[in-house]
Amino acid sequence: MNDPKNVLLDTTLTPEVAGKVLERLAINLPLTSNEEGLTKLYRGWCRNIPFDNFWKRLKLTEEEFSDHDQIDANQFFEIWLQHGLGGTCWTTANAMCELLKYFKFDVRMITGSMGDMGEVNHVSLLVSLNEGKEYIIDTSILNEQPIKIDGVHIENPVHPIQLIRNSETTKIIFEHCTKREHMPCAINKNRISKEQIVEFYIASIHNSLFNDCVYIRKNEEGIIHSIVGTTYYTKSKNALGKKELNEEERKQVLINIMGLSEEIVEHISKTNLFNIPQESILINLTKY
């Protein structure tokens, strides 16, 4: 396992990796660094790259699949291209940041507090376009549409967004991916350094909401698919669904819906990642 303390985050994407990512996202060149291009790239991300904690939990249990480190953007995308795995907020936001930079977007990483808990536990992206327009791109919320920072709301039957602003923060109110209950995320626009990113990333490996059970979510048009613990959830405009999955059903959902490789799913099946703790904050937060 790579020591995350040695990560320098000098991870400018190589042309080869950037080209493969764009091809997998089914986005044609040229990609213009405007609102249309930003929306196209973010929507492609939301529908192809899951938010999941598999790589982190394999690291925690010392059952790693490879010695790659997801905080390196090139290695993050190599893992995804080969095995379909995403990551949690620090690794996905860093990878998206480097992808946006590669295509000439003016982007910076900014801190947040998921759950509006008054402490930094989240990272998002702030993209500045022409005429002073600023948009939040969040690789955890995955609402498919850039969030205009001076806007009020985004009307979407599956991914509704409301914004509440004060002098220091912008609070994003979004819905859980499993149900229609709201969740706040307070975003601070202050720039975060690469050194701070590494510090928060290291801290999150051992201290995070996403450490106690399996969590994976991925969008397709008009629907959100997620697994929390051993429960498979679906959410669309008109319906919520949930089902307890046995081992074979989990494998099929992970491969056919979440897009994971058979190789990584087989590796996961030989671990205890799907064991349910006696008390899970994540399950309690997302269940209905």
pLDDT recorded at residue 67: 82
Q: How far apart (Å, rounded) are the C-alpha atoms in residues 18 and 138?
A: 20
Handedness of CA 191, 194, 196, 198 (dihedral sign): positive
- By residue range, what is the domain housing residue 80? 4-286
> How many distinct structural domains can be found in the chain?
1
- In this prediction, residue 11 carries a pLDDT of 57
Q: What is the pLDDT at residue 222?
A: 97
Residue 1 confidence (pLDDT): 37
Residue with tokens 């008390």: 279
- 63 burial (CB, 10 Å; 0-12 / 13-18 / 19+) is middle
CA nearest 125: which of 114, 111, 115? 111
Q: List the beta bridge partners of residue 128.
A: 106, 134
Please tell me whether residue 52 adopts helix, strand or coil conformation.
strand
Residue spans of the chain under pLDDT 50: 1-9
Q: Give the angle 259-141-207 at the CA atoms, nearest 5°.
A: 90
| Residue 9, pLDDT score | 47
Q: Using alpha carbons only, give the angle 133, 221, 136 rounded to the nearest 5 degrees.
A: 20
User: Under a CB-based contact definition with an 8 Å cutoff, are residues 256 and 227 in contact?
Assistant: no
For residue 47, the 8-state DSSP code is T
CATH of the domain at 10: 3.30.2140.20
The predicted pLDDT at position 64 comes to 84
Token readout for 42 is 């973010």
- Separation between Cα atoms, residue 105 and residue 102, nearest integer Å: 7
Query: How far apart (Å, rounded) are the C-alpha atoms in residues 287 and 280?
Result: 11
